[in-house]
């Protein structure tokens, strides 16, 4: 049988979807790099390892966690945004994804242009925690102590624009313009060690990052930022219960991929992340640490990110906060 040029074109077009599907189903052809923009032992690292353990089995290739800490998570997030090898994904948090564009004039990546949200993995309320020797047992006594020592006390965070940094800025503004020094860290473990040692006096930090220290009494939780009291610490009152309205906030983690990642691959990664987070062993590890497992799809993750960006970006602009990139 002789095929005409038109026939060849038709045959080619007919087989294109099949070839595309085969190419997609063959991914990944080699190990996948999963970037966590914080150190090993941090709460994002825990989430990343729960997710990647499932992904490695589901994808049939090793999924290697690479900890790229620094700049409040911006360095690792930028590494995902800049990846061109087709085998790099990762996760990120509040600061690099929702607040950095409003804070930094020369941010090397654009979360909307350069990244795709895959899944909102987890979220958790934040604690206002203090060194156990600080003479403060509730929000009112904390505010009074800071006001009596303007500029003499320090609070920590995992970097400018992080959820903890902005949570404390918001708290200080609502309390009537408290003055504290800000000390940024590369990750939660180092900041927590300095809080326990008394080198800093306070933090607003995701519950998962300090649950162990709150439980053993090495630091004191004065308030939780959720709408209702946190199920793991029912004795810790909310900020609202202590007279500070409209201060509800959460730390969260979203799985991200470079913007040029094919939609079918995004959908596949989201589906597998959801499965991994719902497996009993991994879910229990995350919930015990203080997280609420969200496990959303890409559309829900993108919508959530847009809402958080509008909220915190608006606060940053209202307060006139700017940082050097």
The Cα 167–Cα 185 span in angstroms is 16
Q: Are 167 and 249 in contact (CB under 8 A)?
A: yes
- With cut-offs at 50, 70 and 90, classify the pLDDT of residue 236: very high
Query: Mind giving me the DSSP string for 79-97?
Result: HHHH--SS-EEEEEEHIII
4: pLDDT strictly greater than 70: no
Q: What pTM, to 2 d.p., does this model score? A: 0.81
Q: How far is CA 256 from CA 59, 83, 212, 233, 284, in A?
A: 17, 12, 28, 31, 23
Express each pLDDT in 30-48 by its tens digit. Answer: 999 999 999 999 999 999 9
3: pLDDT strictly greater than 50: no
- With cut-offs at 50, 70 and 90, classify the pLDDT of residue 20: very low
Peptide bond into 282 cis (omega under 30): no
Q: What is the mean pLDDT of residues 289-297?
A: 94
Q: Are 81 and 258 in contact (CB under 8 A)?
A: yes
Q: What's the pLDDT at 266?
A: 98
- By mean pLDDT, which of 9-13, 102-106, 165-169, 234-238 is the weakest? 9-13
Percent of the chain with pLDDT over 90: 73
Q: What is the mean pLDDT of residues 146-165?
A: 91
Mean pLDDT of the chain: 90
Give the up-direction half-sphere exposure of residue 34: CA atoms within 13 A in the CB hemisphere.
27
**DSSP β-ladder status, 88-93 and 32-36:** parallel
Q: 250 vs 66, which has greater pLDDT?
A: 66
67: pLDDT strictly greater than 60: yes
Q: What is the mean pLDDT of residues 284-299?
A: 94
Burial call 137-150: b when 16+ CB within 10 Å, e when fewer: ebbeebbebbeeee
313: pLDDT strictly greater than 90: no
- With cut-offs at 50, 70 and 90, classify the pLDDT of residue 6: low
Q: What is the mean pLDDT of residues 189-216?
A: 94
Q: What's the pLDDT at 187?
A: 83
Residue 1 tokens read as: 């049988």
Express each pLDDT in 86-136 by its tens digit. Answer: 999 999 999 899 999 998 889 999 999 999 999 999 999 999 999 999 999
Burial class (CB in 10 A: 0-12, 13-18, 19+), 26: exposed
- Residue 216: which residues within 8 A CB-CB, separation 6 or more? none
- With cut-offs at 50, 70 and 90, classify the pLDDT of residue 325: very low
């Amino acid at each position: 049988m002789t095929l005409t040029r038109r026939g060849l074109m038709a045959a080619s077009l007919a087989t294109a979807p099949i070839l595309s599907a085969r190419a997609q189903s063959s991914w990944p052809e080699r190990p996948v790099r999963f970037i966590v923009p914080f150190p090993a032992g941090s709460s994002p690292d825990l989430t990343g390892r729960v997710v990647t353990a499932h992904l490695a089995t589901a994808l049939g290739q090793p999924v290697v966690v690479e900890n790229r800490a620094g700049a409040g998570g911006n360095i690792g997030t930028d590494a995902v945004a800049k990846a061109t090898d087709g085998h790099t994904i990762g996760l990120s948090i509040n600061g690099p994804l929702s607040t950095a564009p409003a804070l930094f004039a020369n941010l090397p990546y654009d979360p909307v242009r350069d990244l795709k949200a895959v899944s909102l993995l987890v979220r958790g309320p934040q604690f206002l925690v203090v060194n156990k020797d600080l003479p403060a047992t509730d929000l009112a006594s904390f505010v009074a102590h800071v006001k009596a020592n303007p500029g003499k006390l320090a609070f920590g965070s995992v970097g400018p624009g992080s959820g903890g940094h902005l949570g404390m800025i918001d708290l200080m503004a609502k309390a009537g313009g408290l003055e504290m020094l800000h000390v940024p860290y590369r990750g939660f473990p180092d900041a927590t060690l300095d809080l326990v040692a008394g080198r800093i006096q306070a933090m607003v930090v995701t519950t998962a990052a300090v649950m162990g220290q709150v439980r053993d009494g090495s630091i004191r939780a004065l308030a939780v930022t959720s709408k209702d009291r946190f199920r793991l610490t029912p004795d810790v009152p909310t900020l609202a219960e202590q007279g500070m309205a409209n201060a509800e906030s959460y730390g969260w983690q979203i799985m991200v991929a470079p913007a040029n990642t094919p939609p079918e691959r995004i959908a596949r990664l989201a589906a597998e992340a959801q499965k991994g987070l719902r497996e009993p062993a991994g879910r229990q590890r995350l919930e015990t640490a203080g997280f609420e497992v969200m496990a959303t799809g890409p559309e829900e993750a993108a919508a959530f990110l847009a809402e958080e960006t509008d909220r915190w970006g608006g606060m940053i602009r209202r307060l006139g906060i700017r940082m050097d990139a």
